[in-house]
Amino acid sequence: VALGRCLAVALVGLEGHLVEVEADIADGLPAFALVGLPDTSLFESRDRVRAALSNAGCTLPSRRITVNLSPAALPKTGSGFDLAVATALLVACDRADPASVRGHVHVGELGLDGSVRPVRGALPAVLAAVRAGRPRVVVAAQNAAEAALVPGAEVVAVTSLGDVIALHTGGPVPVHDGGWSAPGVPHAGPPPGMGPDLRDVVGQTRARSALEVAAAGGHHLLMVGPPGAGKTMLAARLPGLLPDLDDAAALEVTAIHSVAGRLDPSTGLIRRPPFEDPHHTCTVVALVGGGSGLPRPGAASRAHRGVLFLDEAAEFEARALDALRQPLEHGLLVIHRALGSARYPARFQLVMAANPCPCGRSSGKGVDCTCSPAARRRYLARLSGPLLDRMDLQVEVRAVSRADLASHCAPESSRQVAERVATARAAQAERLTSTPWVCNGEVAGAWLRSALRLSPRVTRTADRRLDRGDLTVRGYDRVLRVAWTLADLAGRDSPGPADVDQALELRQQGRVAA
């Protein structure tokens, strides 16, 4: 009996686990069995491995081959195990040094010709290896730049099984400079003060200030207004107002984009908040993730620690909007599979833009609107109560007037606004130190009403609305969160009655049209 072992990584959502691949070649009828909870996509691995080994000059004997992946309880999916299965077989066939193989973790797909191909999720896989105390990782050359983003990783880049045999028999391994697997998909926001600038937005004083409050406290924002009023322009400028991601968030966001297969590692870790703007015709899967093999994170996960922007929000399928309730509540998305479920973080700032009615012209004086009163009422109701209730800021964006255009007063730049946002965020960070939250938008309601309790004198207007039933408890909490952000922006230690009143107003402007 000949036995070979090699380490690989199984990804369950973003979490990687070390897996031992054990290859056993024994007497018996020719067969190739794969055991240890592999999914259907992994069974195809057998044909690729056999052909690739043969093309690398190692033809498998006509005997009984068993490959076991352990721990067996861990679900295994995708093509990333090919390289480890082939390497374990190389050891079993006495074509690689077991000690050298044992010192490395192997992650990669094989081509039938023996080439080693890149896989999605190389970054979280390498991260798991490093955290398990196995920093030496063999990956495809196209994954090398991405793998090298993991602090402490010692990456060996290979292009073929021939390179792997050389590596594990003391031969020279050619140096590959890599490249990347998915070039040119820049989905991270621009650096502060770069990219689309608020300087380009004329007028819109109220919407601009709502955007600033949203940025400062991490609040969800709904903008209602006619087409062409500048809702999309404003939303696109939000990421430019947000602070950089810290190290942990940067690694997490980069890992999500790695699993999504759209990371450009040439620019390093993603350090700016991402901006995702799925089209209203997108499927539920495109929004929340899914697909065969290793599930792809959807737009909501790719927007983690950044902005998810739904333009024409009332045109999205009701199922798609409903699917956002889980991440809005829990900050993550669970994708259920036959062999277990995958979790992807999805803590995003939701920005929705909507027309006030099907024709879009009912705001302001609304003289040109051709919709029936019933159609107008039904339109925004599509955004469903529970989702609307979660929007901290709801503002009306009016069409730009002639007076706005004629004004000589130059609009503030994104850089100026971003500075105030940074100051307000610093105040929150100090207040929220030793809590799990970083900004007002995340603070739990219970904590808000106990540790941050405000006097009845301050909350009087909101209390009255709550008593009258005009405000839900969730809505009440959202008003308090926004009031704290207004105080932080103004440099006050805690909100006053005027902050609470303004927070109430910022929550209700957008309802005018509904």
Residues forming the site for Zn ion (CB under 5 A) = 357, 359, 362, 369, 371
Residue 149, Cβ density class (10 Å: 0-12 exposed, 13-18 middle, ≥19 buried): buried
Distance separating alpha carbons of residues 205 and 368, to the nearest angstrom = 24
Cβ of residue 372: shortest distance to Zn ion, in angstroms?
Answer: 9
Q: How far is the CB of 451 from Zn ion (least distance, A)?
A: 46
The minimum distance between CB 371 and Zn ion, in angstroms, equals 3
Element (H, E) at 136: strand 136-140
Cβ nearer to Zn ion, comparing 190 with 360: 360
Question: Are 396 and 363 a contacting pair, CB within 8 Å?
Answer: yes
Which lies closer to Zn ion via its Cβ, residue 166 or residue 359? 359
Q: How far is the CB of 365 from Zn ion (least distance, A)?
A: 12
Q: Choose between 300 and 371: whose C-beta lies nearer to Zn ion.
A: 371
CB of 360 vs Zn ion, minimal distance in Å: 6
Backbone angles phi, psi at 4, to 5 degrees: -135, 145
Q: Which is nearer to Zn ion, 58 or 369 (CB)?
A: 369
Q: How far apart are alpha carbons 453 and 480 in whole angstroms?
A: 10
| Nearer to Zn ion among residue 371 and residue 487 (C-beta) | 371
Residue number with CB closer to Zn ion (227 or 491): 227
DSSP assignment of 276-343: E---TT--HHHHHEE-SSSPEE-HHHHTTTSEEEETTGGGS-HHHHHTTHHHHHHSEEEEEETTEEEE
Which are the contacts of 260, defined by CB distance < 8 A and separation ≥ 6?
120, 296, 297, 301, 302
Measured N-to-C along each axis, helices 82-92 and 45-55 cross at an angle, to the nearest 10 degrees, of: 50
CB of 311 to Zn ion, least distance (A): 18
Rounded distance between C-alpha atoms, residue 155 and residue 137, angstroms? 5
Taking the complex as a whole, how short is the minimal distance between the CB of residue 361 and Zn ion, in angstroms?
Answer: 5
Least spacing, CB of residue 337 vs Zn ion, in Å: 44
Q: Which residues of 428-437 are buried (b: 16+ CB within 10 A; e: fewer)?
A: beebbeeeeb
Q: Characterize 400-417 residue by residue with b for buried, 16 or more Cβ atoms within 10 angstroms of its Cβ, and e for exposed.
A: eeeeeeeeeeebeebeeb
Name the token pair of 11.
């990804």
In the bound state with Zn ion, the residue whose beta carbon lies nearer, of 371 and 454, is: 371
Quote the CA–CA distance of 475 and 388 in Å, as a whole number: 10
Closest to Zn ion by CB, 224 vs 500, is: 224
